[in-house]
Amino acid sequence: MKAAIRWYVVVALAAALAGCGISGPAHGPPDPHAAAVVDMGFESFTPSTVTIKTGQLLEWRNTSPITHSVSFEPQAAANPGDAALPPGVQPFASGDIAAGNVFLHAFAAHGTYRYFCTHHEGAGMIGTVVVQ
């Protein structure tokens, strides 16, 4: 009986941890077409600034156990300086990125892009993409 209970606890723990972002695509290899990768920590983007070339793909990886987002929507920012786009670029956002998941975006226009996590902007979860 003890072995059955122990097995149940191990299975339940593994299932709980799988739902906490310990598994999923964010923990595997990056997309082979991604020019750079940004990891989403508990309340940070690492690195906070990334430089890529026009047309290249950027991958954000939510390796934390909580939901994040990537928003390039100045009108949605609590602080107007937390989001900015080059002239002529339309705002865009990832929506919620669950623990263990990724978001990919290709940048078609050069310039400086500032973005934030809609859930953790107040904690300073802000990043910059420089597209050359």
DSSP line for 51-101: EE-TT-EEEEEE-SSS-B--EE-GGG-SSGGG-B--TTPPPEE---B-TT-
The total number of structural domains that make up the chain: 1
Mean pLDDT, residues 23-31: 88
- For residue 23, name the pLDDT band (cuts at 50, 70, 90): confident
Task: Give the whole-angstrom CA distance, residue 121 versus residue 48.
Answer: 13
| Residue whose token pair is 């050069």 | 110
The mean predicted confidence, pLDDT, of the chain is: 87
pLDDT band at 25 (very low <50, low <70, confident <90, very high): confident
Residue 37's CATH number = 2.60.40.420
Predicted pLDDT of residue 8: 41
CA atoms within 13 A on the CB side of 128: 9
- Residue 7 reports pLDDT greater than 70: no
Owning domain of residue 77: 2-131
pLDDT tens per residue across span 77-111: 999 899 999 999 999 999 999 999 999 999 999 99
Nearest to 69 by CA among 107, 95, 100: 95
